Chains A and B, each alone.
Chain A
């Protein structure tokens, strides 16, 4: 089974939808849910450049990159879970915090290499629990990952005592967190590299093909002779490793780590994925689209912050954005049918 470089978003589900010749509401809705993010992101950036004071300043651009990178890394990883049709992985909240705390706390005592191995072990453990519960027991991914979030955070808070861990002021972690190429911090480069690697994994490998086909039709994939439990585990593993990298990047940026670090990452990553045009119904989506969604969400958040809009309104805006983007997808599908 090779995919011969097919683009991820043209899967079997849409062949029927594109056969109509007349341009109707269905086509417009379907098009805007698929490609709207290009237009909206461009419009948003132009609007920000024109109307928002201080958006184009070097400090602000670097700040946007710094804030976008960890969310983006989580989002490109979680795209795999969404495309595989398992909605999302809420436990990234716990995974990001766990990776950060392990990185700082363990590298202070045992060195950075052992710390990274320990964080990787934790990530694999998260993926194992999520993957077995969802893949083998066929339990609902939202509920399972809600449970693992609380278990993970509970364990982390118990062992860390809720305290903040500080890295050494002249260590390699801090050097990485502060490092930049021009206005672009290293973390944004990590995001770009992750996007390219995961995009290749999704579009050019057998594993990526199986993830997409599982998202389109679960039983067909199983009857095709694939081990569906392994596919689900793989999707959660990609997410867990991405969340681990995001935790590293986040901890390196501030050179500190605390068990609350991951709060809000589930939600912002999901917003980025959905706005990018990856379908929550599974099967359709791409990693590059998620990157665009990350840019959109980050720029939007930055504009709201620069305009002095309070945290509450930001939450409302992002929640409404998710529901709006999913509605567009759902209505587009309904009309096309």
Chain B
């Protein structure tokens, strides 16, 4: 899964040095490190998180679903900021249609259409995906407000929503089951299907991929449609469990899902990443969030935690660290040169 490995840095000293290189080299290394630190701290301070595992699993599932969709796009070096609004919009669409199954289908179609529009602007028009999906983020949020009349929409079929939250087998609620299915589907697609494997090529070097005959535009469309579809799925699950669809839903999920995907080793410029890594990242953040909530930490402080993890995740990427080492080296060389000349 880890596509690009650094083979240097083998001159490690002792066990910790070697462990450090392994963690730094593996795509999922940072995710595993974060997960184990969080698991140990939580196990010592708030073991309730593990005994209430159905809550924890549900939290991981919500973060994980959105993060998995994002991963498909990030692998190609693109970004989809609109997932937060897609989540809200699809929930509102589903709730405003009285027939439940029709609503779910319409919501999923919404996700696919959003993905298609995003992909059109990114690959055909050629706008940077940050800006295109940022515009979509606000436009879709507006659309969700318009459809919902600026108020949460309650589900017509409340019983379906309530029965949706009941466990099927053991702790496995439908939400967790869908998450597992999405995980397996995307993992197989990315590692076994040719189209999915070409995502890495598109992200690694787009021109080379095009020269090698990979239909880059079609791959980008596929990626954005996956991320839109999966975000819509998350929106459906979210509104079914709360039995209402909130047009403002999803902004914190966006932050958390990004943090999960990036700490899982997915490189934002594309070409390197791992679905398993995203799963590990989502697990780490889900456990952290539930632990913070159970131990009564206020919501603003939780935001600080998640924001800080996102900041750490994006700055400790192997490529970021390499550029830091590079700039330190140039700084030193420059100083040495200056001291020689003066």
Residues of A within 8 A of B (CB): 87-88, 129, 133, 136-140, 142-144, 146-151, 153-158, 162, 229, 267, 270, 274, 280-281, 310-320, 322-323, 326-327, 330-331, 333-334
Alpha-carbon gap, A105 to B9, bound state (A): 51
Nearest neighbor of A157 in chain B, beta-carbon distance: B300
> Is there an interface contact between B142 and A150, defined as CB atoms closer than 8 Å?
no
Nearest neighbor of A331 in chain B, beta-carbon distance: B125
Contacts of B311 in A (CB 8 A): 129, 133, 144, 147-148, 151
| Size bracket of the B interface | 35 or more
Nearest CB in chain B: distance from A334 CB, A: 6
Known: A316-B143, A323-B136. A155 touches B304 (CB 8 A): yes
Alpha-carbon gap, A112 to B302, bound state (A): 32
> Is there an interface contact between B138 and A315, defined as CB atoms closer than 8 Å?
yes
Nearest CB in chain A: distance from B295 CB, A: 16
> Is there an interface contact between A326 and B131, defined as CB atoms closer than 8 Å?
yes
B134 close to chain A: CB less than 8 A:
yes
Known: A316-B139, A319-B138, A327-B125. A146 touches B258 (CB 8 A): yes
The residue among B137, B146, B315 with the most chain A CB atoms within 10 A of its own CB is B315
Nearest CB in chain A: distance from B268 CB, A: 5
Partner of A138, one of B126, B134, B310, B323: B323
> Is there an interface contact between A143 and B310, defined as CB atoms closer than 8 Å?
yes
Nearest CB in chain B: distance from A269 CB, A: 12
Known: A315-B142, A316-B143. A326 touches B324 (CB 8 A): no
Known: A319-B139, A327-B127, A330-B126. A158 touches B317 (CB 8 A): no
Alpha-carbon gap, A87 to B308, bound state (A): 21
Contacts of B262 in A (CB 8 A): 143
> Is there an interface contact between A154 and B130, defined as CB atoms closer than 8 Å?
no
> Is there an interface contact between A136 and B324, defined as CB atoms closer than 8 Å?
yes
Contacting residues of chain B (294-340) with chain A, CB-CB under 8 angstroms: 298-304, 306-308, 310-311, 314-315, 317, 319-321, 323-324, 327
Alpha-carbon gap, A154 to B327, bound state (A): 32
> Is there an interface contact between B303 and A154, defined as CB atoms closer than 8 Å?
yes
B175 close to chain A: CB less than 8 A:
no
Contacting residues of chain B (150-164) with chain A, CB-CB under 8 angstroms: 150
Nearest CB in chain A: distance from B341 CB, A: 14
> Is there an interface contact between B150 and A312, defined as CB atoms closer than 8 Å?
yes
Alpha-carbon gap, A157 to B307, bound state (A): 14
Given contacts A155-B300, A323-B127, 11 further A-B contacts (CB under 8 A): A138-B323, A139-B317, A147-B259, A147-B307, A151-B304, A154-B302, A311-B150, A312-B145, A312-B150, A319-B138, A319-B140
